[in-house]
Structure 1
Amino acid sequence: MVTVLSFSLITVGIVFWFWGTWPLLGTRSLLFKLHSLSVADTLGSMAIIVGLLLKIPREWPLLVLALISLAIWNTVLGYVVAYCSQPSRENPLFKS
């Protein structure tokens, strides 16, 4: 039963990866494309890691660290991209 659940989570993670890549072909804005890609990539990667956690529980410290890192760094990266996309006087990237 654990093996079936593990492979199901890994499959769901791979589906999320492809599902997040699909909007890149659309005509929406670049930020929408990046947002949907990063959310789907994060969820897919987390599902795969949880599937691996069920498959190889002896590696739980490393896999839990990977889950925490994904949650923190992908969130921070989203905020950085959103901040850098806003032209303002305080943003050094948009100085003329």
Structure 2
Amino acid sequence: MTDLFSYALIGMGILFWYWGTAAFLRRRSVLFKLHHLSVADTLGSVSIIAGLLLQRPREWPLLLLAILSLALWNTMLGYILAYCATGGDEKRGGDDG
């Protein structure tokens, strides 16, 4: 039963990856596409690692570290990519004149 649930999580993670990639086919802004891709990639990767966690319970410290790293990395990368995509032209509240 655990193997079946593990394979279901891994399959769901792969589906999330494809779902995020499908956003590039839509006619939307670049920021929408990046957001969609980063959320789907994070959910897919965490689902796959959770499925691996069920198969290899003795490796839980490394897999938990991988889940936390993915969540932090993908969040920060999304913000950096959005900032670069807008050109970094937002005013920061300074007195530029």
TM range (shorter): 0.7 to 0.9
TM-score (structure 2 length as normaliser):
0.86
Cα-Cα RMSD: 1.3
Q: Render the CA deviation track for 1:37-70: whole Å, top value 9, x for unaligned.
A: 1100000000000000001111111100100001
Structure 2 distance, partners of 1:66, 1:48, is 11
Map 1:1-96 → 2, pairs under 5 A: 1-84=1-84, 85=86, 86-88=88-90
Q: Render the CA deviation track for 1:60-92: whole Å, top value 9, x for unaligned.
A: 1110010000111111112222333242366xx
User: Does the residue aligned with 1:58 lie in a helix, a strand or coil?
Assistant: helix
Structure 1 unaligned blocks of 5 or more: 91-96
Structure 2 distance, partners of 1:25, 1:87, is 27
Q: Count residues with an aligned counterpart.
A: 90
Structure 2 unaligned blocks of 5 or more: 93-97
TM-score (structure 1 length as normaliser):
0.86
Shift, 1:26, TM fit: 1.2
The alignment-based identity, stated in percent, is: 61
Structure 2 distance, partners of 1:15, 1:88, is 36
Structure 2 distance, partners of 1:88, 1:19, is 31
